[in-house]
Amino acid sequence: MHETPPPLTFEGVVGFGAQDAEDAAHFFEHTLGLPLGAEDGAMRFYQLSDDLSLMVDASGALAGEPPYLVFSTPDLTAAAEHFLQRGCAVRELPWATGAGFLARAPEGHTVCVVDEAVIGDGE
C-alpha cells in the first residue's frame, strides 16, 4: 500500500548560492537590478515576475552550487520522512534552522522544502 505523500506546493522559486549577503545584494540588486522582495536570515527572495521568484542562499554554504527547486509544506516532518523513505539524503537548511530542509536524491537532484509559513510571510 502506498502512503499519501505530504502536500508539497511548488513555489516557482529557483535557488542560487552566494558568498554572503553583501555579495548577493551587489550582484542581484545592483548588477541585475532586482528588487529585494523578502529576507529571512541568510535567505533572500527576489521577485522576477508575478509568479516567479529567485531565492538566494547568502550564507556562503552553497556558493557555486547548482540551482534547486523550492517547495513549501505545512508539515516539515512528514515531508522529510517522504524524502528519506525514497532514498534521499535530508539536511536542515543551513540558513534557516527549523524552517526547512534540502533533500538530495541519489541521482544528485536537490530540492528545498520550506515551512509554508516562511514563504507565506513575505517579510
Residue 27's domain is classified under what CATH number?
A: 3.10.180.10
Q: C-alpha distances in angstroms, 1 versus 4, 40, 98, 100, 108? A: 10, 39, 31, 28, 27
Q: pTM for the whole thing?
A: 0.59
Domains contained in the chain, number: 1
Q: What is the DSSP letter of 19?
A: S
Looking at every residue in the chain, the average pLDDT score rounds to 81
Q: Cα–Cα distance between 28 and 23 in angstroms, integer?
A: 8
Domain containing 114 equals: 9-121
pLDDT of residue 2: 56
pLDDT of residue 122: 47
Segment 35-81, tens digit of pLDDT: 888 888 888 888 777 777 788 888 887 776 666 677 889 999 999 99
Helices (H), the chain: 21-24, 76-85, 116-121
Asked if residue 2 is part of any domain, the answer here is no
Which has more pLDDT, 66 or 1? 66
pLDDT of residue 90: 95
Beta bridge partner(s), residue 72: 9, 114
Asked if residue 3 is part of any domain, the answer here is no
Helices vs. strands in the chain: H and E counts, helices first: 3, 8
